[in-house]
Amino acid sequence: MMTCAALLIVIGMAVSSAAAVEVQRPRGVPLSKRQFYEENKPFTCLDGSRTIPFDRVNDDYCDCRDGSDEPGTAACPNGSFHCTNAGFRPTFIPSSRINDGICDCCDTTDEYNSGAKCENTCKELGQKEHEVLQKMAEITKEGFLLKQQLIQEAKNRQQEKQSKLTELQNNKKELEEKVEALRTVKETAEQPEKEAKELHLKAWEEQKAIIRAEKDKAKMAEAFLELDDDADGFVAVAELQTHAELDTDADGTVSETEAQGLLGGVDHVDTASFEKVWDNIKDKYVSESQPVEPAPVDTPPEESNKLADNDSEQYPSDDDVQEEEEEDEEEDDYPEEDFDKAPPTVKTPPKKDEDEEAMPPYDDETRVLIDAAQKARDNFEESERALRDVDDQMKNIEKEISFDFGPDSEFSYLYSQCYELTTSEYIYKLCPFNRVSQKPKYGGSETNLGTWGTWAGPEDNKYLLMKYEHGTGCWQGPNRSTTVKLTCGKETTVMSTSEPSRCEYLMEFTTPAVCQEPEAVISSLHGHDEF
């Protein structure tokens, strides 16, 4: 790659002096790699890329691409330095931390030429760590025992739920049969009821027709007398013309031709022929005895207003109906019942009803039939309710069973529980597998910080984090969400809450359910030693 005219020449200008060399092994080399650094023999970079004279090891100049020739200086950007840390845990630090004036190794070996005053704190740290480990071991031990109990309880509870579910399933079958039986009973009872009611209704309708015809006749007679101004026993064209409301071409007056037309092409009619004329004019005819007021036809807006008023007055009852909707569901099959429950519907103009008498009560026979049908209905509904109830119970149990409560269901005891933590400003509430919320301590409404989402821990143990999502939205921000971090503890408690990022909450929660077997804990801690 090199041409004789060097394109770029890199020249190091060292301000610091060369490093002193340790006797036993070069500075910064871990015991495990000691054999690669043999004094007075050429050194081969650990990646095998190059061999250099040994005096270039730790000469504060980087020769190996992997940084292995400078284990004890900061010369290589990718090097690492080994601190023995006798009394504590040995560790590697990036070589950029050698002689940077900051004490990193507790045995002070990283700061051999920086003037930093480091104290050897390894013993102290070792002791502290030991104490912490011991305490942790204790907690873990007790926690793990508690966890076994939890697992046992969960098992019991699970069995309980399972048997309850089986019981409910059986129950359900019985109930379904019962419902079907009662439905048949009901339908059987309703058939005669329906017939009897229809009969009754028909009779009443007929009676109403008779009454209506009689009334009409009386009205006609009255009208004839009124129209027959000269009392000659005939209604004449001129007499009809006084009734402008009978106008047929909408010009506001009744012309002779129009009047003649109304009278069936003749000049006058007697009482007998008037019957036909009456049929033509009775809808428009205004009795002279009635006070003169604008005909309803002329004021459609007012009428529609009235109708609207009526409508709005109807709303409360509509609402009632809606509220009862669920209960009424099964009644949808019987529209005629609805009909007689509320006889005056909007569609019948109230005026007409005024004259009509209410429907006479059912006769005894019909009433007996109705009562019998009602009883059958009640029984049927009751059985249906019972079935729904069982369904609900089953759904709840199935939902609970469907949750992932951990490999041994050790988290199931948290289900339908809530845990609170009070801070200086807020009361936080964690209801595991349900939701997280926050409420101001001194009044104010609750804020949803997220509802149960998933387990979100690392791949090797997803049960270390819970994620609650889709809480109340933030201004210009995301919906609130909460991550719950679970740590081993004897108690089940919310330890702390924080909001590391706007609207993203973090909750620390201790529970025995995440306590590992004590041996496992210790070996995993030792595992860290090797890094």
Partner 1 sequence: MVPLLVALLFLCLGAEAVDRSNFKTCEQSSFCKRQRELKPGQSPYRALLDTLELSDSRITLQLINDNNKVRLLLELYRLHGNMTRVKINELKPLKPRYEVPDVLITDPPTEPMTLVAQDENGLVLSLGVDEQRVIVSARPFRLDIVEGPTVLLSLNSRGLLTFEHLRLRKDTISHKITSTVGSMWDSIKSDEQAVKEEEDKPGMWEETFKTHSDSKPNGPSSISLDFSFPGVDHVYGIPEHADTLKLRNTDGGDPYRLYNLDVFQYELHNLMALYGAVPVIISHNTERTMGIFWLNAAETWVDISSSTAGKTVFGKMMDFVQGSSEVPQTDVRWISESGIIDVFVLLGPTPNDVFAQYASLTGTQAFPSLSTLGYHQCRWNYNDKEDVKTVDEGFDKHDIPCDFIWLDIEHTDGKRYFTWDPHKFAQPKEMLQGLMDKKRKMVAIVDPHIKVDSGYNINNEIRSKSFYVKTKDGADYEGWCWPGNSGYPDFTNPEMRAWWASKFAYDQYEGSMENLFIWNDMNEPSVFNGPEVTMHKDALHGSWEHRDVHNIYGLYVQKATSEGLIQRSGGVERPFVLTRAFFAGSQRYGAVWTGDNAAEWGHLKISIPMCLSLGLVGISFCGADVGGFFKHPSTELLVRWYQAGAYQPFFRAHAHLDTPRREPWLFGPDNTALIREAVRQRYALLPFWYQLFYNAYRTGQPVMRALWVEYPKEPATFVIEDEYLLGKDLLVHPVTDEGAKGVTAYLPGKGEIWYDVHTFQKHKGAQNLYIPVTMSSIPVFQRGGSIISRKNRVRRSSTCMENDPYTLYVALSPQGTAEGEIYIDDFHTFNFEKEKQFIHRHLHFSDNTLSSNLLALITASVLSGKDKPVFWYRKYQF
Residue 231 interacting with partner 1 (CB under 8 A): no
Report, in Å, the least distance between residue 102 CB and partner 1. Answer: 6
Distance CA 173, CA 473 (A): 45
CB of 71 to partner 1, least distance (A): 15
Would you count residue 20 as binding partner 1 (CB under 8 A)?
A: no
Decide: 406 and 463 in contact? Cβ < 8 Å. yes
CB distance 447 to 415 below 8 Å: no
- Quick check: 210 binds partner 1 (CB under 8 A)? no
Residues 81-100 contacting partner 1, CB under 8 A? 94, 96-97, 100
Which positions from 375 to 414 touch partner 1 by CB under 8 A, shown as an x/- string?
----------------------------------------
Distance between CA atoms of residues 192 and 199, nearest Å: 10
Rounded to the nearest whole angstrom, what is the least distance from the CB of residue 85 to partner 1 in the complex?
17
Judged by CB under 8 A, the residue of 66, 478, 479, 508 near partner 1 is 478
> By CB neighbour count within 10 A (0-12 exposed, 13-18 middle, 19+ buried), where does 489 fall?
buried
The CA-CA-CA angle for residues 175, 180, 182, to 5°, reads 90
Binding mask 98-127 for partner 1 (x = CB under 8 A): --xxx-----------xx------------
Residue 477 as a binder of partner 1 (CB under 8 A): the answer is yes
Q: How many Å apart are CA 233 and CA 439, to the nearest integer? A: 90
Q: Does 458 bind partner 1 (CB under 8 A)?
A: no
Q: Which of 23, 475, 530, 531 binds partner 1 (CB under 8 A)?
A: 475
* Cα–Cα distance for residue pair 35/43, rounded to 1 Å: 11
Q: How far is Cα 466 from Cα 506, in angstroms, rounded to an integer?
A: 10
What angle is formed at CA 283 by the lines to CA 281 and CA 289, rounded to 5 degrees?
85
Q: Is the dihedral of CA 122, 124, 130, 135 positive or negative?
A: negative
CB of 531 to partner 1, least distance (A): 13
Number of residues that bind partner 1 (CB under 8 A): 42
The stretch near partner 1 (CB under 8 A) out of 4-12, 120-128, 169-177, 454-462 is: 4-12
Please name the residues in contact with 165: beta carbons below 8 A apart, sequence gap of 6 or more: 394, 397, 398, 401
Cβ neighbours, 10 Å, residue 36? 16
453 binds partner 1 (CB under 8 A): no
Q: Which is nearer to partner 1, 11 or 231 (CB)?
A: 11
From 37-45, 269-277, 284-292, 495-503, span contacting partner 1 (CB under 8 A): 495-503
| Beta bridge partner(s), residue 484 | 466, 507
Determine if 14 is a binding residue for partner 1 (CB under 8 A): yes
The contact mask relative to partner 1 for 270-309 (x = CB under 8 A, - = no) is: ----------------------------------------
Query: Whole-angstrom Cα distance, residue 271 to residue 277?
Result: 10
Tokens of 475: 């201004």
Q: Which is nearer to partner 1, 442 or 475 (CB)?
A: 475
Pairing outcome for strands 268-269 and 80-83? unpaired
Q: Per CB under 8 A, which region of 7-15, 174-182, 340-348, 448-456 contacts partner 1? A: 7-15
Q: Nearest distance from residue 60's CB to partner 1, in Å?
A: 8
Stretch of residues binding partner 1 (CB under 8 A), selected from 69-77, 176-184, 205-213, 433-441: 69-77
For residues 22 and 57, what is the distance between their CA atoms, to the nearest angstrom? Answer: 11
Shortest distance in whole angstroms from residue 18 CB to partner 1: 7
Between 1 and 23, CB nearer to partner 1: 1
Using H for helix, E for strand and C for coil, what is the string for 400-412? HHHCCCCCCCCCH
Binding test (CB under 8 A) with partner 1, winner from 291, 316, 361, 500: 500
Helix axes of 364-402 and 122-227: crossing angle, nearest 10 degrees: 160
Answer yes or no whether residue 5 interacts with partner 1 by CB under 8 A.
yes
Closest approach of partner 1 to the CB of residue 12, in Å: 5
Distance CA 322, CA 316 (A): 10
Say whether 468 sits in a helix, a strand or coil.
Answer: strand
Footprint on this chain of partner 1 (rule: CB under 8 A)? 1-2, 5-18, 60-61, 74-75, 77, 94, 96-97, 100-102, 114-115, 424, 474-478, 498-504
